[in-house]
Amino acid sequence: MPLTAFDLGLELGREHGGANLLELDNTALRLRRLAERMAGQLDPAGRTLAEELIAATEEAERALVERGRRIRQLENLSITDELTGLLNRRGFQELLRRSLADAERHGERGLLLLCDLDHFKATNDTYGHLAGDSVLSAVAETLRRTTRRNDAVARLGGDEFAVLMPKTPVERAERLAGKLSHAVNHLLVPWGRKAIPVAASFGWEAYGPTSRPDRLFFLADRKLYRCKRPEAPDIVGH
């Protein structure tokens, strides 16, 4: 399974406050341990105060754990597409930035793949937006199911999707891209007594240590539009 929004949200949560929370949690832990050691060496009044301190630090630890969970949850929501559960544009751009930084640092190579559904507006106009949402969800699930654990799948917006294949030789990545294209373009999405065939155009571009996000997107997008389909596929009746 591909990298999920939760995985990235967890990392972002650690970056955007996780370090400070960890420091506070460590401080609370040290205070509690110190109070526990002192409790056995104090008179009754001192032991009472030490026990109150222990209780207070335990409560602080619980609050810090809950706050950390909430931060990760909010980060996850901010980078997740609501309809499909995939990464959204923000989440994908963050992940691409990290991947290109790794490529520059370690000489790694990979592939950016873009997918754009053909004649998607006709589906919405003919069958309504619920049918369109069903098609988008089916495409998202197909991309998610057909990619590997370390790949990242995103819905960039509308009927645009993206897949990032890090640490992958170009030859293998292009074979995987062809596999994704075949899977999506053979989809039939049930809708009432009919089945809506999916047609999608794909474009991809390899990246390496010197690649930059804007240029990478531009090259993949240019290849995608070169293979756009001129006609919509026929709806299949049951």
Question: How many domains, in total, are found in the chain?
Answer: 2
State residue 43's pLDDT score. 62
Q: Which helix (H) or strand (E) holds 194?
A: strand 194-197
DSSP 214-232: HHHHHHHHHHHHHT--SSP
User: Two tokens at 237?
Assistant: 């009746």
The domain in which residue 41 lies consists of 5-78
**Using one digit for the tens of pLDDT, what is the confidence trace for 216-228?**
999 999 999 887 7
HEC string for 122-176? HHHHHHCHHHHHHHHHHHHHHHHHHCCCCCEEEEEECCEEEEEECCCCHHHHHHH
Q: Are residues 108 and 169 in the same domain?
A: yes
User: Two tokens at 42?
Assistant: 């104090």
Residue 84 belongs to a domain: no
Q: Are residues 57 and 94 in the same domain?
A: no
CATH of the domain at 133: 3.30.70.270
Neighbour tally for 188: CB within 10 Å: 14
Dihedral (C-alpha) 161, 224, 142, 102: value to the nearest 10 degrees?
-60
Q: Are residues 221 and 103 in the same domain?
A: yes
Q: Which of 127, 116, 231 is nearest to 181 (CA)?
A: 116
78, 99, 130 - which closes a domain: 78
**Using one digit for the tens of pLDDT, what is the confidence trace for 137-190?**
999 999 999 999 899 999 999 999 999 999 888 888 888 889 999 999 999 999
User: pLDDT category, 5, cuts 50, 70, 90?
Assistant: low
What b/e sequence results for 203-233 when a residue is b if at least 16 CB atoms lie within 10 Å of its CB, and e otherwise? bbbbbeeebeeeebbebbbebbeeeeeeeee
How much is the pTM? 0.69
3-state SS assignment for residue 203: strand
Q: Are residues 132 and 100 in the same domain?
A: yes
Q: Are residues 198 and 117 in the same domain?
A: yes
**Using one digit for the tens of pLDDT, what is the confidence trace for 41-63?**
656 666 666 666 667 767 766 66
3-state SS assignment for residue 204: strand
Q: Are residues 117 and 153 in the same domain?
A: yes
